Structure 1
């Protein structure tokens, strides 16, 4: 039977409830530390917890934390937030994208990864299968040596390119998926290289219905989205609230285009809230409450005006689709 793997236990898919499909809760990426980019450091678990509580207060049930090992995650802190708020959290094994890999490996990880200075050195030194074994352990045993397990596996690629090391991690994640049956998530930089990712995954015999591609709304191209959706993959429109990239009208139009074309069962919605200025309790931003509190009512209204059942679509995007997307297919 299918199941969802949370940090602490496996649950039935129908227990997932209202779900944000791509967020970051506590992380301190060394890449951004070195550059002095404090806005990109979610380094106060108590403030993060307050935003998670806002999400819960408005009816939220589950958050998929897409923070991989190379993005400075704090697994124990995220677990504490899960325990203290009662919000279910799904963790992530795997990798992000190559430009982050110049970051220094945390000292506490060196006994697990070996005495490498950077993630790039570690990835370069290991074989695809050795990297796959690491990802498998994070799914089946625990993230970074903790008892808290990953519920999805992730890889990423850069803007309009896939580097050799990125291809290496993609193949490692694909092989870890075959072993664990964990769902796969991909980072696409500004929504690019999605089709190229799919071709590489096909070469690893991946059923693309087990994949979700992130940041699709950063590339607001309906034709491109239809090409991806035709493969059976999920598309994550996870830039909600980021007006600097596009108005909400653009994102809603993209989602409704997916519905018109018959792909409503492959849509995921989230905020990728990975900056202090996006969080309400760090820096007065829109916060984790924004999507469920303000975007959802607007979407329902706009969908109804277009002749759709807005409430039914919201249930698909936030309840039914995540329950299928994040299921282990054992």
Structure 2
């Protein structure tokens, strides 16, 4: 029997509801804090809750919080947000990317030193324990195993952490999530996943819309992997028209059951309630979904049915544990 592991307990996948498949509701990345990059510090629980309430008011019910330990994960804060707003939150085991690893852990070591000091098997055991025992000394367990790579680069340490994450997936049955820097190395990640004997249908690839290349998207989708479009509202990268066009190209090829939607809100200036007046956590459901439905209809598709597929049906499979 499959299940989804949330911070308030394991649930039947059918009860997950309308889901953002990549966001950051509370995080204090150690490296960015050390560098005093305050915009990256999502550290006000009351402000986060107010934004989650916008998401709930717009019909949202669940969020995958993609914050790994090297990006400042706080499972206790996330559980508080879940309990006070009623949403389901899936938390993250594993690691993000090497650019974050000069940051310091609570014991004073850098993440780089921690990873360098462990074998692949030891890293895999560590990640698996975050899923089966708890995160950061708590009994709150991760529901997804994450790995990441850099901009057109995979460092030796990233390669080890990646393969360790795949090993932890094999041990626990937890779903996988990958960070791709600006959408690069999507196919290269998938080559490693397959070489390690892991089913690509258990992987969600983040930031595919940062590299709006229909050929790369198609080749990735042909493996069965989930593709997460999480750059919505990030006009500095690409306008919404480009993202919607990429999505509809995948739909036209029959890949609608592999598309996930998220905002990846990870800056105070993107939140509405952190004092900057950003678009906020409700934006996708409030504004982007109606636009997508209209444009999909103009292209000859049932936009409302597609949104239900992307945001309700697909997350039930993407975030489920398998035996």
Cα distance in structure 2, aligned partners of 1:134 and 1:54: 36
Q: Match of 2:292, SS?
A: helix
In the alignment, what sits opposite 2:265? 273
CA distance in 2, matches of 1:38, 1:180: 36
Where does residue 167 of structure 2 map in the other structure? 175
**Distance in 2 (alpha carbons) for counterparts of 1:198 and 1:297:** 33
Q: Which residue of 1 aligns with 2:292?
A: 299
Residues 117-138 of structure 1, C-alpha deviations (whole Å, 9 max, x = no match) = 2000000000111111111111
Question: Which residue is equivalent to 1:135?
Answer: 127
Q: Which residue of 144, 149, 152 corresponds with 1:157?
A: 149
Alignment of 1:1-330 (within 5 A): 1-106=1-106, 110=107, 117-282=109-274, 283-330=276-323
Q: CA deviation at 1:34?
A: 2.0
- 2: CA distance, partners of 1:59 / 1:93: 27
Deviation per residue, 1:186-220 (Å, 9 max, x gap):
00000001111111111211000000100000001
Return the alpha-carbon distance in structure 2 between the equivalents of residues 287 and 128 of structure 1. Answer: 39
Q: Which aligned runs of 4 or more in structure 1 are off by greater than 2 angstroms?
A: none
Whether the aligned pair in 1 keeps the contact of 2:23 and 2:64 (CA below 8 Å) is yes
Superposition CA RMSD, Å: 0.8
Q: Is the 8 A contact 2:17 2:61 kept in 1?
A: yes
Say if 1:8 and 1:149, in contact at 8 Å, map to a contact too: no
State the secondary structure of the residue aligned to 2:164. helix
Q: Distance in 1 between matches of 2:194 and 2:300?
A: 37
8 Å CA contact 2:8, 2:88 repeated in 1: no
State the 1:74 CA deviation.
1.6
Distance 1:268 1:142 in 2: 27
Distance in 2 between the 1:83 and 1:276 partners? 22
Give the length in aligned residue pairs. 322
Distance between the aligned counterparts of 1:65 and 1:146, measured in 2? Answer: 17
Q: Distance in 2 between matches of 1:34 and 1:89?
A: 27
TM-score normalised according to structure 2 size: 0.98
Task: Select between 70-79 and 290-299 the one with higher mean Cα deviation.
Answer: 70-79
Unaligned ranges ≥5, structure 1: 111-115
Shift of 1:8: 2.4
Q: Is residue 96–residue 187 contact of structure 1 (8 Å, CA) maintained in 2?
A: yes
